[in-house]
Structure 1
Amino acid sequence: MFSIHARPVFNKRLLGCAMALVAAAGHSSIVQAQTTQQTSSNAAAPIEEILIWGSEAGQRSSLSHPASVLTQADLASINIATTEDIVKFEPSLVIRRRFIGDSNGTMGMRGANMFQTSRSMVFADGVPLHYLLQSRWNGSPRWSMVSASEIAQVEVLYGPFSAEYSGNAMGGVVLIESAIPQEREFHFDSSYYSQEFDAYGFDDRVNGYKSFFSVGDKIGDTSLYFSYNRLENDSQPQTFYFGANNSSPTAANVSGGVIGNDQFGNSQLWFGDTGVVDTQTQNYKIKIGHDIGAWSGLVNIAYEDRASSNQPNAYMRDSSGDLVWSGNVRQDGNGISIPAGRLGVGEQERDSLSLGLRVRGPLTDTIDLETNLNQFAIVRDESRDSLRNPADPGYTPAGQVTDFGDTGWQSAEVKLTFNQLGVDNLSLVTGLRYDAYELNIDVYDSNDYRSGSKDQLNSSSGGETDVSAAFAELSWLPTQQLALTLGGRYESFNSNGGYYTTQVGGNVQPIAVPGQSRSAFSPKFTAAYQATDNLTLSYAVAEAYRFPIVEELFSQYQAYNTINQANPTLKPEAGLHHNLGVEYGFDGGYIRVNAFQESIDDVIEAQAETLAGGISVRTFIPIGQVDTLGGEFIVNASDLWLDNLDLRFNTTYTDNEIVRNRVDPSIEGNVYPRLPTWRANLLATYHISDDWNVGLNYQYADTSFGRNDNRDTEQNVYGAQDGYSRVGIKTDYRFGNGFSLGAGVDNIGNDIDFVAHPWPGRTVYLNVSYDWQ
């Protein structure tokens, strides 16, 4: 539970929402109609206005760009623990956060699945949070660099229809804006979490808590803000293990293993799991805003200190009652082999620093400037894993240490907005952007993993990429009912400094990888037409090129049972995207329907094969073409059916197909992985009084596949891509003395579903907060 200080004013949520089209749009009938179509709860009544840096809350960037806006009033039915919770109920968007505090909270949007992390972008106050260095579970946005309790507004843009964003916006863009202090203030909130979980050989309750406080003030023209966020949580086991079939006559007889199917429907004998994952995340944030006349500047400094560890569980016991950690075993006629290192312990420490600067203001009466600079550095990222479990009689301190060297990114952008170009209602946004990324990973054999000793280099890989871009977008209102935008983005991509190592005669030998240079131009066009006072039609079309990231090009290593092969010649993904929208507005809300189509060539896919003995070999190989046809039905309304009842409902249909694949034609015609046909979300909030809310939330998705060959059809087992239907409730009460209390439950039915790894079971939330100003 959280809140942000504000002062009461009348609702202006959509005032100026078409300023991205033309500066004069505030006087047009399109904007006049849209300002009467409220996008969130309590639209007709006085509400609190959240002051965010440089703009008003509730703005929507463009009428013709499919988008969704969230303010604090829209979050009353969500049990919020971390930042990604805020957007997980939005249309055509899925967050794979496996537990509270998960560092791998990946995001998928529209035709991009939850592992195609390089096809979505996240910005907080202009600072990139998307992680375009690694992919799949390692490519999650750095959500923890911004705390949920400091967020004022979120806008979700769908598709690459704006020239201001790169091809990494194929799925979409999440724009987070935080509050900036206008007076002296203090905020504190604390939450307790408790989850039930029962699967395979694990049955227990895991708990956690979060504490957050912030202080802020405005002294003259300078706003100061400091916050500290600490999250500690234990998760359910994330991986469950079965053994490779083994008919050794010397296999020991054991008991306690769990017999059940894998995702392919094959019966397996499960012998253990990774155990509870204990996570601790601390975030420190400083924001300094300063106004000089009409100019504003914002300095944003965020530091993350994160640690996690796990203690695996063994299920099997021998005839003496001792736990079995490795070897050839037999239970009820099933013989398997348990690798010695499979149940080893692991721990990770990660420190990250983000520096951001945003400056904007008028150069002249008709020209505005905005500049964004960012530096993100991984100060430390080290994983330490043992070769055996400490409880294993064969245990030694030997293990493996994985260490990130010079890793991070820099970005710089300058953008000019010309509000008058000599033609009525014509404006131009144009600018330059530069992004540079570097990734270096070393894997060491260690004689003492606990101390992190790096005794023998096992493998090393890394490299650099950079993208330089120039963009321009013209916006025009030829009539009071029609808005048009025409834009384009030119990008120049380079990869260099790539390397990996190979083992020669027991020695590690470095191999330099040739770089590449490519360029691409992406045209964009959007149109919005106001047919009546309530009805708006829109169409958007865009090309987009998503260039490969460092991991896809250069990452090559062997870590225990995983081998990753580099592919430095990858071409960019090339997409053609369409969106046709119809929106009907009414007092207190709107109904919106979007039909979208995406056709993407050279889809970069991490394809893996498991060899005998459980060794997994993975490399990034392009799939020739993947097509997606989809539709969204969205209802956002206040006072719907009942006074004081607010509703946000959306459902999404997608039809995905692998159209061409030269490497393996047998998968042509298959459904692309991790993209369910149907998804739906519901947020319903009833305001019992001005201070007391009760809410209901619901999430639904049907089953999907996890593999291109679509062979994984078994459900409700580890490794499956289950459908799910989860119901949650929440209530909060605000006292007159600054205190608020809240409580909620997610997944009331305690359904145990899997997205390869398990989703959380029934989770209870208790919250308390205090505000002073």
Structure 2
Amino acid sequence: MLMKKIIPAILYLCIVPSALSGETSDLVTGTITVKDSFVDSRIMKFPATVETYDKKQIEESVNAATPAQTLKYLPSIQVRERSIGDRNGIISSRTIGSISSAQSMLYADGVLLSNLLGNSFSYPPRWGMVNPEEIQRISMMYGPFSSLYAGNSMGGVINIETRMPERLEAHAGVQSFIQNFKLYGTDQTKIGNREFFSIGNKVNDFSFWASMNRLENTAQPLDFSVANLSSTAPGTAPRVTGVYQDKGISNQARVIFGATAIDTSIQTNAKFKGQYEFLNQSKLTYTIGLWDLDSRQNVQSYIKDDDGNSIYGGYVNFNNNRYTPRMNPAQAEAFHVMQSLDFKSNDKGFFNWQMTLSDYDYSRDLSNRSNLEETSNANPSLTNPYITKTGQITDLSGTGWTVFDSRVTLRPKDHTIDLGYHLDYYHLRQTVNVSNDWMGSQKGAFTSLSSGNTKTHAVYVQDKWQISPEWALTLGGRQEHYEAYDGVNQNTTLARYEDRSRNTFSPKVSLSFEPEPAWGFRAAFGKAYRFPTVTELFQQLTVSNTIVTNNPNLKPEEIYSSEITAERRFANGLARASLFREDRYDALISQTNVSPVPPLTNSTSYVQNVDHVRIHGIELATELKNVMIPKLDVVANATLIDSEILKNDAAPSYINKKVPRIPRQLYKAVASYRVSEDFTMSLAARYSGRQFIQLDNSDINPETYQGASRFLFVDAKANYKFKDRWTASLGVDNIFNDQAYVSHPLSQRTGYAQIKFDY
């Protein structure tokens, strides 16, 4: 019943907004702008759709402990942040799924934060380099329609804009969050906390900003030890009790032995940014960011033997059949360093320029996991992973990337011309060793090695021509040279892969038309190439009981994207409708196959080229101020998506299947009410529709662990400035405690409390 009421209301707000009078705002920059009594146009400004959430909206309506959470109400956007502080926070949009990390781009003040070393859950953007409090606005440009960006922009480009201080200012705060999580044999209440501090000042022509952020949290179990029903004779395996049973994603009967990946982590990030302004209005900015991680992933066994001992591994007897539960705890420690140097002029005159150099270094990065002995059933204590110290250590230290961008902007009459050069260099350095003490990070014998590099040179041009006040044409092109080289894998044998290179050209075109101030229309087309990442080509890895294999022969994805947009503007807001389509050839899609032979639960994850997939749909969005009553603001959007695999010569049975991890519907609405200057309240809803996890769409039972369920989350937040410079916030995400999954269980009802001081 709740869904039947909420979805029509969102669609109504998206399509039929009220044209009430009121204060107007530029939805991109956040500044107050009136154009012939209508909100200023976004159609002429950009070659494609851009949506923005600014600092005021974030503070009033978003329970944000991480910067990833600030995107949750933007149209078509979901971030795979399964728990607060999750390091697998992948951005998904209207054409890309929730583990496609290399198919969107995230920038902060022009510095690339996307981790394009890989295209999986293991390579999320480096969210830890930004604090929620320093965000002035966060904008999303949908699709690969600008030649300024690489083909990784196929899903969109997100720009986080921060600011430099004009005077002495300081900010500090503490935040706590609490979640009670119940599933199978787990019933836990965990309290996390975050502390943050920043200070900045401007002295003559020099300004600086320094910040520190510490986040500590224990997540709900992100995985479970499960197995399909077995018919194997138990032999001498000990009998166990405490097993849970349910149906898996293919509606198969299965058993659950315990909870795994219960992550307790402390993440600390520090950042310093210094900027010097020269007399000619050019600015030189240096930024350094440090991110430190200390993580422990514990396990919880549900099963016990006849003597009451908890069992974590080995062979066990349940209902006179043999199973092999595996509950391997793990830990991780990391110290990453990001540096950037940005030199630019931006006086909006005839000639401007910008040069940005950034480097991201895995200075230290260790992931350790325990091993379990399968033959130790005579002494169950030996299967306790906290007693059995043998394990495996994966070391990614020395991995990282360097990016250089330079651009000049010319503004002859009626034109804005951008000319640029881009260089990126990504390097993978991974070694795996056995360990006699995984908790002590003691490396033993060598197990395997994966190493390799990719490099891309690009030159581009883009010309925005204002043909007349009503018409604007943007033309662009991007020429790229891609190299993959020095690829090596070694375990029992050494494999060296042949160097490869590719030259591509990507044209772009966008035509805008505004017949009158109230209306705007735009048609855009873009071609792009998304090259295989260094880890897709060269990395072999075992994560828990999943074997990740590489493919050095992958082809680049070839993308054809188009969009038609109509925008209706009012005095107090606007409404937008966009039709979009993406045809992707040689699509790079990750697939995981689970062993079908009980009692084995090993799985293999690999990337393959799928010949042709098509994704198309409609996106509706509105943003209105003073709706019905003064001081009530509403943001609402809806996305309807259809995806299909049109050709797959490697697996013809997959033809006509849906593309994994792209939901059919997304609906969002946020209502914010300013009770007074000191008191604001908001209520929000997010709905995600049916999607598939498996490439063959065999997951017919989505409402369970390892499936991708529908979900409806309702959130609320209140802010009260109770004293000069002091603000308190209370909020709840997922008020109705909807149990949802995107392969892993998502957070259940979570409460937030925060106190902040601003000087």
Q: Please give the TM-score of this superposition, normalised by the length of structure 2.
A: 0.92
Distance 1:698 1:690, change over 3 A: same
* 1:443 aligned residue: 432
Distance 1:465 1:15, change over 3 A: closer
* 2:529 aligned residue: 545
Which 10-residue stretch deviates more, 572-581 or 131-140?
A: 131-140
Equivalent residue for 1:685, pick from 668, 672, 677: 672
Letter in 1 for 2:658: V
Residue-by-residue CA offset, 1:472-518 (whole Å, 9 max, x unaligned): 01111111111110110111100111100131xxxxx3221111000
* 2:642 aligned residue: 655
Tell me the C-alpha RMSD between the 2 structures: 2.2
- Structure 1 contact 15–35 (Cα < 8 Å) conserved: no
Secondary structure of the corresponding residue to residue 312 of structure 2: coil
Tell whether 2:387 aligns with 1:400.
Answer: no
Equivalent residue for 1:122, pick from 102, 106, 129: 106
* 1:259 aligned residue: 245
* 1:70 aligned residue: 53
Report the CA distance between 1:11 and its aligned residue.
Answer: 7.7
Distance 2:715 2:655 in 1: 39
Matches within 5 A, 1:311-330: 311-330=298-317
Distance 1:146 1:61 in 2: 30
Matches within 5 A, 1:134-533: 134-243=118-227, 245=230, 246-274=232-260, 276-293=262-279, 294-331=281-318, 333=319, 335-339=321-325, 342-361=326-345, 365-388=349-372, 392-394=381-383, 395-420=387-412, 424-503=413-492, 509-533=493-517
* 2:540 aligned residue: 556
Aligned-pair identity (%):
29
Distance 2:348 2:94 in 1: 40
Secondary structure of the corresponding residue to residue 74 of structure 2: coil
Distance 2:571 2:346 in 1: 35
Distance 1:207 1:16 in 2: 36
* 1:5 aligned residue: none
Matches within 5 A, 1:31-42: 33=35, 36-37=38-39
Distance 1:237 1:165 in 2: 37
- Number of residue pairs matched? 722
Which 10-residue stretch deviates more, 390-399 or 482-491?
A: 390-399
Distance 2:193 2:397 in 1: 32
Distance 1:35 1:175, change over 3 A: farther
- Structure 1 contact 658–668 (Cα < 8 Å) conserved: yes
Distance 1:737 1:239, change over 3 A: same
Distance 2:432 2:581 in 1: 42
Which 10-residue stretch deviates more, 247-256 or 265-274?
A: 247-256
Report the CA distance between 1:108 and its aligned residue.
Answer: 0.9
Distance 1:585 1:11, change over 3 A: closer
Distance 1:12 1:651 in 2: 22
Report the CA distance between 1:391 and its aligned residue.
Answer: 8.7
- Structure 1 contact 580–594 (Cα < 8 Å) conserved: yes
Distance 1:558 1:156 in 2: 34
Report the CA distance between 1:242 and its aligned residue.
Answer: 1.6
Distance 1:312 1:520 in 2: 48
Residue-by-residue CA offset, 1:519-561 (whole Å, 9 max, x unaligned): 1100000111112220001110010100010011111244663
Secondary structure of the corresponding residue to residue 138 of structure 1: coil
Distance 2:208 2:642 in 1: 49
Letter in 2 for 1:267: A
Distance 1:723 1:34, change over 3 A: farther
- Structure 1 contact 603–623 (Cα < 8 Å) conserved: yes
* 1:26 aligned residue: none
Distance 1:94 1:498, change over 3 A: same
Distance 1:329 1:527, change over 3 A: same
- Structure 2 contact 299–327 (Cα < 8 Å) conserved: yes
Report the CA distance between 1:156 and its aligned residue.
Answer: 0.6
Report the CA distance between 1:713 and its aligned residue.
Answer: 1.3
Distance 1:702 1:558 in 2: 32
- Structure 1 contact 192–767 (Cα < 8 Å) conserved: yes
Distance 1:771 1:162, change over 3 A: same
Equivalent residue for 2:719, pick from 723, 732, 741: 732
Q: Provide runs of 4+ in structure 1 moved above 4 Å.
A: 14-18, 362-365
- Structure 1 contact 328–335 (Cα < 8 Å) conserved: no
Distance 2:296 2:414 in 1: 58
Tell whether 2:682 aligns with 1:695.
Answer: yes
Report the CA distance between 1:569 and its aligned residue.
Answer: 1.7
Distance 1:548 1:141 in 2: 17
Distance 1:392 1:587, change over 3 A: farther
Residue-by-residue CA offset, 1:438-475 (whole Å, 9 max, x unaligned): 01111111112122122111111120001111010111
Report the CA distance between 1:362 and its aligned residue.
Answer: 6.0
Report the CA distance between 1:386 and its aligned residue.
Answer: 1.4
Distance 1:653 1:502 in 2: 46
Report the CA distance between 1:262 and its aligned residue.
Answer: 1.2
Q: Please give the TM-score of this superposition, normalised by the length of structure 1.
A: 0.90
Distance 1:630 1:364, change over 3 A: closer
Distance 2:435 2:235 in 1: 34
Distance 2:399 2:135 in 1: 28
* 1:757 aligned residue: 744
Letter in 1 for 2:468: T
Letter in 2 for 1:276: I
Report the CA distance between 1:276 and its aligned residue.
Answer: 2.8
Residue-by-residue CA offset, 1:560-613 (whole Å, 9 max, x unaligned): 633332211211100100000000000121000000000000011222322342
Equivalent residue for 2:571, pick from 587, 593, 598: 587
Distance 1:536 1:34 in 2: 14
Distance 1:34 1:257, change over 3 A: farther
Q: Which residues of structure 1 form unaligned runs of 5+?
A: 1-9, 19-30, 40-58, 504-508
* 1:714 aligned residue: 701
Tell whether 2:522 aligns with 1:535.
Answer: no
Residue-by-residue CA offset, 1:255-303 (whole Å, 9 max, x unaligned): 1110111111111111111153101100001010111021112111100
Distance 2:116 2:266 in 1: 24
Distance 2:708 2:358 in 1: 37
Residue-by-residue CA offset, 1:713-745 (whole Å, 9 max, x unaligned): 113211010010010110001134100001011
Distance 1:182 1:639, change over 3 A: same
Which 10-residue stretch deviates more, 318-327 or 580-589?
A: 318-327
Distance 1:653 1:692 in 2: 35
Report the CA distance between 1:619 and its aligned residue.
Answer: 2.2
Secondary structure of the corresponding residue to residue 122 of structure 2: helix
Report the CA distance between 1:250 and its aligned residue.
Answer: 3.1
* 1:28 aligned residue: none
Report the CA distance between 1:625 and its aligned residue.
Answer: 0.7
Q: Which residues of structure 2 form unaligned runs of 5+?
A: 1-22, 374-378
Secondary structure of the corresponding residue to residue 728 of structure 2: strand
Secondary structure of the corresponding residue to residue 63 of structure 2: coil
